[in-house]
């Protein structure tokens, strides 16, 4: 009791449980207008997904397959980390609904596919006001199951109907994202399924290539948006955070978001391979490494890196490092074509790197000894991989076995990155002072075509003079 004795009405009674109050549930169920909502899909999504299901069906005849979109991890109470549907599930369905499940059951000549989607809770359902994941009062009006079936051209059932079929799923191949469902129904989280999906996803169809082109184009525009903010980031002390935020906002606006954690590394941060802390200043005369990719709304992502001079002009040392990385990059790009083994680009780029480091007196052994499988001394300054498949995942097809990936021949429709670099850390005592704290990476997204390859990110220059001219143009025309 307060001193004045005044408390609000019913103060001291238990907090009301709305679902247990008939007057409330009756009241909130009434008088809502019907809002038609249709799935917001990129054109061509349904057709591509149907073709992907056919490919999986042909690869795993007679197998029941279960795939799931997955569930966002909880951050706190009813607040989850951002949801992003599992890539193989999206590849098979085109659907990005949290908790949705695809079941493919074998029949003569193929599979029947049913997509189970959590039905939105609408006025009249208790979940309408009480379910923060699927209640429309919480998440807004949502597409219904008939609209999903229409948009995707697949049989759609409410997720609640899946329980009636659980006995059929015993022994089925389940994707990793469906692990909790698999545990419940006795399905097998299957490496064979993951590997098969990974291998199938390696060859992109025309629609997927179009999505990747869009993602790359949006990323190229994002690089320009970031470069235009460099003067402000320096002048106002806003630092790497500002540039990271600039790209991520661009990615969210023109795509689904960043396809991976944006890397903005200025000066001594540039050699740090995964500098995603992005909490340092933009050093005015240092090189600035930008590794940034827009994930399109279809969830296909770009993965592009350029290293630009924050001032518009590279120092002599920065330019020499950039020139060597450019030569390695060109040597790698030259080997991207059908019939060439995937790893050849790696060895071609590494030969250039090792020779260059040798010429600078940085190799403790001969070039040949460094390049040999028992040496690899040059990798001190380039310890990461210098390429990977690209698609719905930034490191796409990562469940493929060595002989299907590293050791396989390139074929038309493969999309991959080539990304050599040199990473001269600030505290590396093997380096002369002028090289310490310089990190340069050049990363392009490359499509293997029928006769050769196409650099999808070719709108961004790779030579030092071109990078300087591109950067100066942006520095002189800041964003409005």
Q: Which is nearer to Mn ion, 248 or 303 (CB)?
A: 303
- Spatial distance between the Cα atoms of 108 and 462, rounded to a whole number of angstroms: 53
The CA distances from residue 430 to 182, 362, 433, 471, 472, in Å, are: 52, 7, 9, 31, 33
Q: Which is nearer to Mn ion, 267 or 293 (CB)?
A: 293
The structure tokens listed for 350 are 């590494």
Q: What angle do helix axes 239-254 and 206-227 make, rounded to 10 degrees?
A: 140
B/e letters for 412-446, b = 16+ CB within 10 Å, e = fewer, are ebbbbbbbbbbbbbeeeeebeeebbbbbbbbbbbb
Which of residues 240 and 303 has its CB atom nearest to Mn ion in the complex?
303
User: Least CB distance from residue 219 to Mn ion, whole Å?
Assistant: 12
Distances (CA, A) of 2 to 5, 9, 12: 5, 14, 13
Shortest CB 406 distance to Mn ion, Å: 15
Give me the least distance between CB of 225 and Mn ion, in Å please. 20
Query: Minimum CB separation from Mn ion for residue 444, in Å?
Result: 10
For residue 81, the minimal CB distance to Mn ion (Å) is 23
Beta bridge partners of 116: 101, 157
Using the minimum distance from each CB to Mn ion, give the nearer residue, 303 or 393. Answer: 303
| Closest to Mn ion by CB, 97 or 417 | 417
Smallest distance from Mn ion to CB 365, Å: 29
- Both tokens of residue 383? 């310890």
Residue ranges that bind Mn ion, judged by CB under 5 A: 303, 417
Specify whether the CB–CB gap between 439 and 421 falls below 8 A.
Answer: yes
Q: What number of helices (H) and strands (E) belong to the chain?
A: 15, 19
Pair 353, 422: CB distance under 8 Å: yes
Of the two residues 70 and 387, which places its CB atom closer to Mn ion in the complex?
Answer: 387
**Cβ at position 458, least distance to Mn ion in Å:** 16
d(CA 124, CA 106): 38
CB of 343 to Mn ion, least distance (A): 16
- For Mn ion, the closer of residues 198 and 417 by Cβ is 417
Give the whole-angstrom CA distance, residue 99 versus residue 93: 13
Q: Phi and psi for 308 in degrees, rounded to 5? A: -115, 150
Looking up tokens 């290293």 gives 307
**Residue 419 C-beta: closest distance to Mn ion, Å:** 5
Q: Nearest-CB residue to Mn ion?
A: 303
Q: Which is nearer to Mn ion, 118 or 258 (CB)?
A: 258
As measured in angstroms, the least distance from the Cβ of 336 to Mn ion is: 15
100/299 with CB nearer Mn ion: 299
Closest distance between Mn ion and the C-beta of residue 421, in Å? 10
Nearer to Mn ion, 63 or 306 (CB): 306
Give one DSSP letter per residue of 7-44, joined into a string. --TTTTSPPP-GGG-HHHHHHHHS------------TT
How far apart, in whole angstroms, are the C-alpha atoms of residue 215 and residue 208?
10
Q: Of the two residues 142 and 417, which places its CB atom closer to Mn ion in the complex?
A: 417
The residues, ordered by sequence, that sit 6+ positions from 67 with a Cβ below 8 Å of its Cβ are 86, 88, 89, 92, 93, 101, 102, 174, 175, 177, 178
Distance CA 265, CA 374 (A): 32
């Amino acid at each position: 009791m307060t001193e004045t004795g005044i408390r609000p009405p019913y103060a001291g009674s238990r907090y009301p449980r709305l679902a247990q109050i008939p007057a409330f549930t009756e009241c909130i169920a009434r008088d809502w207008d019907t809002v038609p909502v249709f799935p917001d899909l990129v054109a061509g999504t349904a057709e591509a997904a149907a073709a992907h299901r056919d490919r999986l069906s042909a690869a795993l005849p007679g197998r029941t397959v279960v795939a799931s979109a997955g569930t966002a991890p909880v951050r706190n109470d009813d607040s989850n980390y951002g949801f992003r549907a599992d890539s193989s599930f999206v590849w098979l369905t085109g659907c990005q609904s949290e908790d949705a499940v695809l079941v493919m059951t074998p029949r003569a000549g193929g599979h029947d596919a049913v997509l189970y989607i959590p039905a939105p809770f609408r006025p009249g359902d208790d979940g309408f006001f009480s379910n923060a994941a699927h209640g429309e009062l919480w998440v807004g009006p949502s597409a219904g199951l008939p609209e999903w079936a229409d948009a995707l051209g697949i049989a759609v059932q409410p997720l609640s109907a899946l329980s009636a079929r659980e006995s059929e799923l015993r022994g089925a191949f389940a994707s990793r994202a469906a692990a909790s469902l698999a545990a419940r129904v006795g399905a097998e989280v299957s490496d064979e399924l993951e590997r098969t999906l990974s291998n199938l996803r390696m060859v992109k169809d025309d629609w997927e290539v179009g999505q990747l082109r869009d993602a790359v184009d949006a990323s190229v525009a994002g690089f320009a948006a970031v470069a235009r903010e460099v003067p402000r980031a320096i002048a106002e002390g806003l630092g790497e955070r500002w540039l990271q935020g600039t790209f991520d906002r661009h990615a969210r606006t023109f795509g689904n978001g960043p396809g991976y954690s944006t890397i903005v590394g200025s000066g001594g941060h540039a050699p740090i391979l995964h500098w995603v802390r992005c909490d340092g200043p933009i050093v005015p005369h240092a090189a600035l490494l930008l590794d940034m990719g827009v994930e399109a709304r279809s969830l296909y992502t770009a993965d592009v890196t350029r290293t630009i001079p924050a001032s518009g002009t590279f120092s002599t040392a920065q330019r020499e490092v950039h020139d060597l990385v450019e030569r390695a990059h060109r040597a790698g790009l030259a080997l991207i074509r059908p019939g060439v083994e995937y790893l050849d680009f790696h060895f071609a780029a590494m030969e250039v790197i090792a020779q260059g480091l040798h010429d600078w007196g940085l190799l403790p052994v001969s070039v040949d000894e460094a390049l040999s499988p028992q040496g690899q001394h040059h990798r001190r300054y380039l310890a990461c991989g210098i390429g990977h498949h690209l698609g719905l995942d930034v490191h796409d097809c990562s469940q493929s076995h060595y002989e299907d990936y590293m050791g396989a021949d390139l074929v038309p429709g493969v999309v991959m990155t080539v990304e050599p670099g040199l990473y001269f850390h600030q505290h590396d005592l093997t380096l002369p002072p002028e090289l310490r704290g310089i990190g340069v990476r050049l990363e392009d997204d490359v499509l293997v075509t029928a006769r050769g390859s196409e650099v999808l990110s070719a709108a961004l220059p790779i030579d030092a003079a071109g990078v300087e001219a591109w950067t100066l143009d942006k520095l002189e025309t800041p964003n409005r």
